[in-house]
Amino acid sequence: MARTTFNGPVASQNGFIGGHQVSAGNAVNATATATAAQVATGYITSTSAAATTITLPTGTALGAEIGATKGTVLDLYIDNTAGANPVTIAVNTNAVLSTAAVDTAASFGDLTVAAGATGLARYTIMFSSATAYAFTRTA
């Protein structure tokens, strides 16, 4: 197996790329739209004392940030373990809930991340083109 060194955000279309860049720049502690750069890291934290809604970036902005093409997949982890209230995730322009998310809203479509010890969620972002994606909760 060959060894490859990557520099910057890495998106895998047909393999597994592990690791996420956790930094203070990835914190969304009040209702806001997350930047494409924040989402591209794959890891966002929230420590808000108030209920917070994090709106995802547009499909165009996120697609440009990661160089997406049809079939690009990105996992996004939301960490609200230090938060005092729930975080709600909202989709933006050129972003839709996947069919699984719509059909089974209580699981794949759950857009609320609890606060405290259970406040972790994983979402999968799947691009249908360079500028549009579907969004599903996967853990």
Structure confidence by residue, pLDDT tens digits, 64-73: 999 999 999 9
Nearest to 121 by CA among 129, 109, 133: 109
pLDDT tens for residues 17-35? Answer: 555 556 666 899 999 999 9
pLDDT of residue 104: 86
- Mean of pLDDT values over 87-106: 89
- The pLDDT of residue 6: 53
Predicted structure pTM score: 0.82
Q: What is the pLDDT of residue 9?
A: 54
Q: What is the per-residue pLDDT for 51? A: 93
Q: Where is pLDDT greater, at 104 or 8?
A: 104
Q: How confident is the model at residue 84 (pLDDT cuts 50, 70, 90)?
A: very high
- Of residues 138, 113, 107, the one with CA closest to residue 125: 138
- Average pLDDT over all residues of the chain: 86
CA angle at 98 for the pair 31 and 67, rounded to the nearest 5° = 75
